Structure 1
């Protein structure tokens, strides 16, 4: 049977760990498409990488070329790709690794085979939580490497409908740390073309707002919309639906109000991000279970503060590769001396949560500092 072409395989899905989505790297648009095509060949049940092989002619088409393959051009592309490094930040660790560890051209059979670096296994194989999936065809037609990276980032946060990213972090993620250093150039060469191209060629569209400190742009807030084809072949922009952040916030708020509690949408966004880090796709159901458990207890006077602490403890274990189920509402409640949380804990947690309300998602360092300080005080109290 004849091999299916690259175009025919474009309905395959690309699934990547969210950690990998947010990694820092710089690839050309051709290199990105090679990587994403290989990722789309991974089976969800694979427990190890394989040699991913395809006809050289199809590989040549994937690179955007026409006519007979020129092996010298192809070898140069794969050699450059093997030298490209990505950086992954996990807690206090910074990991550097390559994408591809081996490439083999077989002119006799007319095939090229590539193999991922084995250190990428945790980010591409048997992903159970915190991953993003999209159709390969949504990126194969994009002409800009920046558009591909921004599409992936927005796809990762689509469930929230909006996300604020510090400008410096966005530059690292899209691979533009050494280009367009003036913001107006970054906007003209990266953001504006990506906004246009993503809306024209993918299942998403976005608008963005500049977040300023004084006159300086320090972050970009993206507003994400899904696009679908209707029965007449027209592309429609989907408003916030049943899974949107507005609706989820309303559902969560209604739970709180039954217990005379309240939270702003910004505060909910921060708690939602913590829950998503722990539970992945089913984060909202798990979050509401924990919240309901806490709200039902009369001995917890500050339920939102307590909820924040529980989620932070779970995140800390997830980052260390430890089972987060070691942390539960009951265990934490007992850890601070039987049935009543000390007054200082409640007051401190109240201030901590208020800090979240005032902050933006870009203030993660301050967020982690406050969490560490709280932990130290709590440990001192236990001792």
Structure 2
């Protein structure tokens, strides 16, 4: 409200729910306050496709993508002051203090991954004061390699992605794993109590599908198990 910069962490608390194979996250007050103001048009938040960053291996790549995609229309960023830039990328003060190490292990790594796996084609120039590098300026263009296979992310048409699992809900996944043909094909993966208790079996197999969907599409697309009649399913 007073136009002063506020620094805040994103997350106040994280709780791991082992029984549900999920994570409960509580955001900090400042983040919640801003998130609730997002309307997609008037606020200074950038919408970007989650699929653009889902396949990245480096957190630096994700953070750099989030930073650069805001300048996609302008096609060029302002000069990022190196100290602020390091903080934005999540580089600790004790990490990569030599400019060579910072470029090699953070900037170049992230730029290469963005160019290979996303809809952006980026490059940068170093900005100096005298002989000292004080910042980076990025060119941000559209990557013409929009097909995932072309940019190095091959995907089986029958394999679900890590968030939607072929667009199936948890309820549908639970029905699938109780299909008698599915049980006959993959039931051997469940051992111990997971193989004896139908509730545990269902939860175990749904989690396995979410973790490794490609393992369950070799015989036939997983969605086809929904096409059976009621007597094709085993219920507890």
Name the TM tier (shorter chain): 0.5 to 0.7
Residue 180 of structure 1: SS of its match in structure 2?
A: coil
Extract unaligned runs of 5+ from structure 2. Answer: 152-236
Counterpart for residue 87 of structure 2: 172
Cα distance, 1:159–1:194 mapped onto 2, change above 3 Å: same
Quote the offset at 1:118 in angstroms.
3.5
Aligned counterpart, 1:122: 33
Q: Distance in 2 between matches of 1:133 and 1:185?
A: 31
Deviation of 1:179 (Å): 1.1
Q: Could you list the runs of 5+ residues in structure 1 that have no partner in the other structure?
A: 1-89, 236-383
Cα separation, 1, equivalents of 2:102 and 2:146: 34
> What's the TM-score once normalised by structure 1's chain length?
0.35
Could you say what secondary structure the match of 1:95 adopts?
coil
Residues 30-70 of structure 1, C-alpha deviation per residue, up to 9 Å, x if partnerless? xxxxxxxxxxxxxxxxxxxxxxxxxxxxxxxxxxxxxxxxx
Select 1:113's aligned residue among 8, 24, 29.
Answer: 24
Q: Tell me what 2:73 maps to.
A: 159
Report the RMSD for the aligned CA atoms in angstroms: 2.6
| Number of matched pairs | 145
**Offset at 1:126?**
3.6
Matched, 1:221 2:132: no
Q: 1:224, CA displacement in angstroms? A: 0.6
What is the rounded CA distance, in whole Å, between the counterparts of 2:13 and 2:95 in structure 1? 28
SS of 1:179 mapped into structure 2: coil
Aligned CA distance change for structure 1 residues 97 and 150 (closer, same or farther; 3 Å) = closer
> Does residue 1:187 correspond to 2:98, yes or no?
no
- CA–CA separation in structure 1 for the residues paired with 2:146 and 2:48: 19
Distance 1:230 1:172 in 2: 30
Alpha-carbon contact 2:121-2:140 (below 8 Å) kept: yes
Taking the aligned partners of 1:140 and 1:100, their CA distance within structure 2 comes to 24
Report the equivalent of 2:8: 96
Q: Residues 289-324 of structure 1: CA distance to partner in whole angstroms, max 9, x if unpaired?
A: xxxxxxxxxxxxxxxxxxxxxxxxxxxxxxxxxxxx
TM-score (normalizing by structure 2): 0.54
Residue matched to 1:321: none
Residue 134 of structure 1: aligned partner: 48
Q: What is the rounded CA distance, in whole Å, between the counterparts of 2:87 and 2:117 in structure 1?
A: 24
Residues 7-35 of structure 1: CA distance to partner in whole angstroms, max 9, x if unpaired?
A: xxxxxxxxxxxxxxxxxxxxxxxxxxxxx
Bigger helix fraction: 1
- How far has the Cα of 1:104 moved from its partner? 5.2
